[in-house]
């Protein structure tokens, strides 16, 4: 019982006391018998260092096997005790002025917090040394009594200061969404989330490792009445992106205190962190009397268990360092004329997403959001190098502090060989409409640029001046060969005004004297992306790219994902590549401090039909150009020569692997 009382004091008071008197002999003795390998206090079993400590009868309750070398953080030394509940009131140590639970204090009179303070009380030199450091002057016995309360005030102020810093850090790191919680959303609907490894561009996407259910971590213990911050071990029950559902060790099948947290947060640590950082491990109040030997319990439960890598927090920090800086100049697509680029300046960087302000915008409101790996941004001079249209800025020289982003920062495209058979103007294909990402449309190659870039126009919706042509690279996953939609059971959007329905490519090519772009020129690689239908994620609304929304994968066609925004109608869905930098794991917004848009409420859903009709009408009025009646000869080799067919795609299912999904049909 005596050891239990002393342990409670050290859990309650020792971290703060050590902050002020770390240089004293008292501190030296404490440091020699500080904590066991769990970060739990040994309890100061002995009255002096020369006498042997009396072992608790609970210590020999179970024999625990030694831990494997892969998990060296647990050692079988020291005794672990639970702490008192504090119902018997508080007391103040007459030696050091510390305040703690009265029952935990040493001696019958409860005058001292520990054996050390009791012994030190009779030594004027030790007493003077402590108070001199605290008061800045030679102490007397009288001054010790007079300065007791100011010392307590200092300790309390320090604890409050630490709590304030922690609250500020939490406020800065997370952007809460009122009324929405990913944890509640997933639990209440039994959803699954796409794993972090699906997002190579996201923090920890390439070094997530074996983090999975069952991994143990050290987290703050919120089921505790102590005023100081203490920790306990918890296991991952469920993973949802960066978010983990945790259960405190010792609760077994009891989920009453399960809680969600971001595994990359600052309060999540590998097992052993408390021991190395001098933080106390205290079992939750709900189960504190469940076991009498917590040490044996933890060693038994943690033997063979996995935890986070020791450098996990460092890896998180490194993966959230972004090379793009504010004031960098880039070339980015002109959102009012898709066929050209403009100079823009990086205004802010959040989680790798860039807020770009067009250089001519005086009030900095004319902006554009995209990820730093987006194919829509390029280094200064890119447009001229490939022959792309470019809007010259009225600003004749760089503004002070602005500088060109180095070319190596931008995403590299795959090199192509355009010397042999290549795309030609007038060739037909299928492409995602950049102004209506829910549709894959009949399209035409309007211009062939350098380095494998193509200007693509959507048939039947093109402006006369070509201002709505869009630049795709030949390896882009957003362009497809003729027949892709049909073979994969995707609705193909025919040219506006085309009356011969249902649309047939063979008839259309003959009517327009056009040829289809050869299948072998398209990107046929399908990575092992790991997505499944129904997975939750956070996705950018590419029609309003400043918004990141709660979303679901509803279809998978090879590497193409159909993204549905929860709470909105299907017509707002968007086709996105599996490696798009505009897709993020659950919890990305919280981790990076970006604002997450929750599912639309019922009131918004009711108004969707009318608003979507207005948007569609506005879109149709945007295109004023006449349909170009090109008379390109239908080459006979397409009809009589080489023919291509497609491997049947697996609709609405995952299709991973690098196998091609277009093959040449042998005669």
For residue 127, pLDDT over 70 is answered with: no
Question: What 3 state SS string does 327-350 have?
Answer: CEEEEEEECCEEEEEEEEEEEEEE
Neighbours of 484 (CB within 10 A): 24
Q: What is the DSSP string of 505-556?
A: HHHHHHHTT--BPPGGGS----------TT-EEEEE-TTSTT-EEEEEEEEE
Range 580-588 average pLDDT: 97
- How far apart, in whole angstroms, are the C-alpha atoms of residue 604 and residue 485? 32
- How far apart, in whole angstroms, are the C-alpha atoms of residue 232 and residue 549? 34
Question: What 3 state SS string does 181-236 have?
Answer: CHHHHHHHHCCCECCHHHCCCCCCCCCCCCCCCCCEEEEECCCCCCCCCCEEEEEE
- How far apart, in whole angstroms, are the C-alpha atoms of residue 139 and residue 136? 9
Q: In this predicted structure, what is the pLDDT of residue 464?
A: 83
Neighbours of 124 (CB within 10 A): 12
Mean predicted lDDT score pLDDT of the chain: 75
Nearby residues of 246 by Cβ (< 8 Å), 6 or more positions away: 217, 219, 234, 235, 236, 237, 258, 259, 260, 261
Q: In this predicted structure, what is the pLDDT of residue 397?
A: 64
Range 51-79 average pLDDT: 36
Q: Are 316 and 310 in contact (CB under 8 A)?
A: no
- How far apart, in whole angstroms, are the C-alpha atoms of residue 639 and residue 321? 54
For residue 206, pLDDT over 50 is answered with: yes
- The closest alpha carbon to 387, from 334, 451, 465, belongs to 451
For residue 307, pLDDT over 60 is answered with: yes
Q: In this predicted structure, what is the pLDDT of residue 273?
A: 93
Confidence of residue 105 (pLDDT cuts 50, 70, 90): low
The per-residue pLDDT for range 146-155, each reduced to its tens digit, is 333 444 444 4
Confidence of residue 488 (pLDDT cuts 50, 70, 90): very high
Range 163-170 average pLDDT: 47
Q: In this predicted structure, what is the pLDDT of residue 325?
A: 96
Range 437-452 average pLDDT: 96
- The closest alpha carbon to 577, from 549, 554, 558, 552, belongs to 558
Q: In this predicted structure, what is the pLDDT of residue 109?
A: 72
């Amino acid at each position: 019982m005596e050891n239990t009382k002393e342990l409670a004091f050290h859990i309650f008071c020792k971290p703060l006391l050590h902050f002020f008197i770390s240089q004293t002999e008292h501190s030296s003795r404490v440091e020699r018998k500080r904590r066991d390998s769990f970060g739990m206090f040994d309890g100061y079993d002995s009255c002096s260092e020369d006498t042997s400590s009396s072992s608790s009868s609970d210590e020999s309750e179970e024999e625990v096997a030694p831990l494997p070398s892969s998990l060296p953080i647990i050692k079988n030394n020291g005794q672990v005790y639970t702490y008192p509940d504090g119902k018997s009131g508080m007391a103040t140590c007459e030696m050091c002025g510390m305040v703690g639970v009265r029952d935990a204090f040493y001696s019958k009179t409860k005058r001292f917090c520990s054996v050390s303070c009791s012994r030190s009380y009779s030594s004027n030199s030790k007493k003077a040394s402590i108070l001199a450091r605290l008061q800045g002057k030679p102490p007397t016995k009288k001054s010790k009594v007079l300065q007791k309360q100011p010392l307590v005030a200092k300790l309390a102020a320090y604890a409050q200061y630490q709590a304030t810093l922690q609250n500020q850090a939490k406020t800065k790191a997370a952007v809460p969404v009122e009324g929405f919680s990913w944890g509640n959303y997933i639990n209440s609907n039994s959803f699954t989330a796409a794993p972090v490894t699906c997002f190579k561009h996201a923090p920890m996407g390439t070094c997530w490792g074996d983090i999975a259910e069952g991994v143990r971590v050290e987290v703050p213990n919120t089921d505790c009445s102590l005023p100081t911050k203490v920790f306990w071990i918890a296991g991952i029950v469920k993973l949802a992106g960066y978010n983990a559902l945790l259960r405190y060790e010792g609760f077994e099948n009891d989920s009453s205190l399960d809680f969600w947290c971001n595994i990359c947060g600052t309060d999540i640590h590998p097992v052993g962190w408390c021991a190395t950082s001098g933080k106390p491990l205290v079992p939750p109040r709900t189960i504190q009397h469940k076991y009498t030997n917590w040490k044996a319990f933890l060693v038994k439960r943690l033997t063979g268990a996995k935890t986070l890598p020791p450098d996990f927090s460092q890896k998180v920090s490194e993966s959230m360092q972004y090379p793009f800086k504010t004031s960098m100049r880039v070339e980015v697509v002109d959102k009012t004329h898709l066929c050209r680029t403009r100079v823009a300046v990086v205004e802010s960087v959040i989680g790798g997403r860039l807020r770009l302000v067009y250089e001519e915008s005086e009030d900095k409101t004319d902006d554009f959001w995209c990820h730093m790996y987006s194919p829509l941004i390029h280094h200064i001079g890119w447009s001229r190098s490939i022959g792309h249209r470019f809007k010259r800025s009225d600003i004749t020289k760089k503004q002070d502090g602005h500088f060109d982003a180095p070319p190596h920062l931008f995403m590299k495209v795959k090199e192509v060989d355009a010397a042999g058979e290549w795309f030609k103007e007038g060739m037909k294909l299928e492409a995602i409409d950049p102004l209506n990402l829910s549709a894959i449309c009949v399209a035409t190659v309007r211009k062939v640029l350098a380095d494998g870039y193509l200007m693509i126009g959507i048939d039947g919706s093109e402006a006369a001046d070509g201002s709505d042509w869009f630049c795709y690279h030949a390896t882009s996953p957003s362009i497809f060969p003729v027949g892709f939609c049909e073979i994969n059971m995707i609705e193909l959007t025919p040219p506006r005004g085309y009356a011969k329905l249902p649309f047939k490519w063979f008839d259309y090519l003959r009517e327009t004297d056009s040829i289809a772009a050869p299948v072998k020129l398209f990107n046929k690689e399908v990575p092992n992306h790991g997505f499944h239908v129904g997975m939750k994620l956070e996705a950018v609304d590419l029609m309003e790219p400043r918004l990141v929304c709660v979303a679901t994968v509803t279809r998978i066609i090879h590497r193409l994902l159909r993204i549905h925004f929860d709470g909105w109608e299907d017509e707002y869905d968007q086709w996105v590549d599996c490696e798009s930098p505009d897709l993020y794991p659950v919890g990305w917004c919280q981790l990076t401090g970006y604002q997450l848009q929750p599912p639309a409420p019922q009131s918004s859903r009711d108004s969707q039909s009318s608003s979507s009709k207005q948007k569609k009408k506005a879109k149709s009025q945007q295109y004023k150009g006449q349909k170009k009646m090109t008379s390109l000869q239908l080459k006979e080799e397409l009809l009589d020569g080489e023919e291509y067919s497609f491997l049947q795609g697996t609709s609405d299912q995952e299709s991973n692997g690098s196998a091609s999904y277009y093959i040449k049909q042998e005669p």
